[in-house]
A and B are shown apart, each in its own frame.
Chain A
Amino acid sequence: MEFVITTYCKIKNNAIWCNGQKLFSVKEMPASDFLKEAYKFSEMNYPKFHKMDNLSKLGLIAAEICFKNSDLLKNNDPENTAIILSNHSSSLDTDRIHQNSIANKDRYLPSPAIFVYTLPNIVIGEIAIKYKITGENAFLVSDKFDAETLVNYTQQLLKTNMAGAALCGWINYDGSDYEAFIYLVEIQKDSIKSVNFKALNQTIVNQLYQN
């Protein structure tokens, strides 16, 4: 069985790339404004988007761009599709907002709609809800992008039939810093062969992340 990367998406520096092509870019602006522009560009028309924290918004846009350019959801059982994500800042961007809401005795107003996003795997939950994906999940935290762990773990899930496809990558949002790199992994079948597919291995994943 051969595992291949069928689509990948990168979001950083006020721009969105898919499969190596720049799809969208805007002038320099605050990260939260960029997410609004990127949302409009994605045309996902999903009012719940506005309720999400920045990490989930970033993850959802990256997932939307990937799925728009992929047949993964058509070709695979949602029960058998895994979501494996990682980052450095976990949910700290939203953690700080919650912390500020309880920092002062006289203005002590924690918000449940913010607190619920103080877990990094909520972005996995939001992607799962939007695309009805019910397979395996894992959210990993590391100093920097760790292709070795992501690739090994995904391969193990696919080899042992715990998943038939996967959405993997890195979604980091921390103050003004943001970066998304999402790639879709499928099992190469005759029905979905393409010369543009890339083999799933550490070297290639690192290359796609760095380029």
Chain B
Amino acid sequence: MEVFTSYHNIVSPLGFTSEENYDAVLNNNSGLKIQSFGKLNESFCLGSISAEKINSWKKNYIGFEKLSKLELLSIISIQDVLNKSKVSLSDKRTLLIYSTTKGNIDALGSNANPAKAYLSNMANTVGDYFNAANTPLVLSNACISGLLAIIMAKRSIESGQYDTIVVCGGDIISEFTVSGFKSFNALSAEPCKPFDKNRLGINLGEAVATLIVTNNKNLINKDSAQIISGAGANDANHISGPSRTGDGLFHAIKKTIQNQNEEIGFINAHGTATPFNDDMESVAFERSGFSNVPVNSLKGYYGHTLGAAGILETIISVMALNRDQLIYSGGFKEKGLAGNITVIEKNKNKKMNAFLKTASGFGGCNAAALFKKC
């Protein structure tokens, strides 16, 4: 059975549609800004969506007062995709998969409604808004959640359980995550520089991204891609430190590309810009024989958007594939990596047929998926 990506949407600091986002990235605009944040009024570089913009959208949605920020952004994103595709979540053969790491974690810090912090509560609120026939499936697998949600969607369709899956992923910037990553010494005070020799760590970002995955050929459009294969693997090494040998990512890639002979036009990596993560990825790519395949990370435009990242980055990459464009790996200047890879230094045109998407995260998890033109 062939499974495709169809309509999509990105809600981020760079715009509220995929097209706005793609144009911004192509023009090297970044959503990252140095700003004061949290109780201690410390300075952080974050990719946040402006509150004014969110408020201006609120009036379009019924019952918005009861929605959390993440629920509202998710509904905006999913609504756009449903409008364009005419897919309905009230169809029994359609499922919503929601990918998130922390969901409404801001509900913990307020007195508002702690029940909202339960991830299924949040996903059900979003599902109910669209009269979903099936209870939404929530996937929370650290930083690979988004990509793994796409892979799970493909598998669930292949099993015959569903025909169409709306894959939505989102996370917001919260004091919870910012303080935690700071205590980990993982944050860069400046805009992050994935794969650069002077990279200092990650920036947190917020976004919601939605992608339709389907076996329905009528939903194929000019921005679709076929999902050829995908796989996950665990490092079984350390819960937070990336494997020095890149074992888990190497195995996820190996399982993804075995029996495939597509020529890979580019790799859209995870590329968080921490010294160890980017080293690990470079080693895994070199071990996979990809030293000459162009690689980019989109974290330099968005920061790390956690549960949204894998979906957001897949959407931008599918658009780049269909436009035969290699996108500059934002923030990169000079290579300084343990493994030998080719980082994309500027936007370029290149005839391509397929790309590889990867992700890695806490808990030693890794995922990879291969997409090709329809």
Contacts and interface: CB of A to CB of B under 8 A. Distances in A.
The answer to whether A and B touch directly, with their CB atoms under 8 angstroms apart, is yes
Interface of A: 78-79, 83, 88-90, 92, 95-96, 98-99, 101-103, 105, 108, 110-112, 115-116, 118-122, 124-126, 128-129, 131-143, 149, 152-153, 155-157, 159-160, 162
B232 interface: yes
6 contacts: A102-B39, A102-B175, A119-B363, A125-B364, A141-B120, A152-B161
B232 A136 contact: yes
B325 interface: no
B236 to A, nearest CB: 4
B365 interface: yes
A142 to B, nearest CB: 5
B251 A95 contact: no
Nearest to B233: A134
Given A128-B234, A136-B231, A115 B183 contact: yes
A125 B139 contact: no
Interface stretch (B13-21, B151-159, B283-291): B151-159
Nearest to A142: B120
A125 B118 CA distance: 22
A128 to B, nearest CB: 4
Nearest to A95: B108
B311 interface: no
A136 B365 CA distance: 9
B44 to A, nearest CB: 14
Contacts of A128: 234-236, 363-364
Interface residues of B, number: 58
Nearest to A125: B363
A141 B119 CA distance: 7
Contact of A103 (B101, B109, B124, B152): B109
B152 A153 contact: yes
B234 A156 contact: no
Given A110-B182, A112-B184, A142-B138, A124 B159 contact: no
B273 to A, nearest CB: 19
A129 B101 contact: no
A101 B109 CA distance: 11
Contacts of B138: 140-142
A141 B123 CA distance: 10
A122 to B, nearest CB: 5
B151 to A, nearest CB: 9
Nearest to A118: B180
Contacts of B139: 138-141
B236 A90 contact: no
Contacts of A122: 142, 239, 362-363
Given A95-B176, A134-B247, A120 B183 contact: no
A174 B220 CA distance: 44
Nearest to B366: A137
A45 to B, nearest CB: 19
A43 to B, nearest CB: 22
A187 B86 CA distance: 41
Contact of A129 (B121, B135, B239): B239
Nearest to A143: B120
B257 to A, nearest CB: 14
Contact of B234 (A92, A111, A134): A134
Contacts of A152: 156, 159, 161
B109 A92 contact: no
B159 A139 contact: no
Given A95-B176, A135-B233, A119 B101 contact: yes
Contacts of A142: 120, 135, 137-138
A90 B119 CA distance: 7
Interface string B326-363: 00000000000000000000000000000000000111
Given A134-B248, A137-B141, A156-B155, A121 B182 contact: no
Q: Which 3 A-B pairs have the closest CB atoms?
A: A125-B363, A115-B180, A141-B138
Contacts of B179: 98, 101-102, 108, 110, 115
Given A116-B240, A134-B248, A105 B158 contact: no
A7 B89 CA distance: 37
A136 B184 contact: no
A56 to B, nearest CB: 9
Contacts of A149: 137
A121 B236 contact: no
B105 interface: yes
A203 B325 CA distance: 50
B296 to A, nearest CB: 25
B7 to A, nearest CB: 25
B40 interface: yes
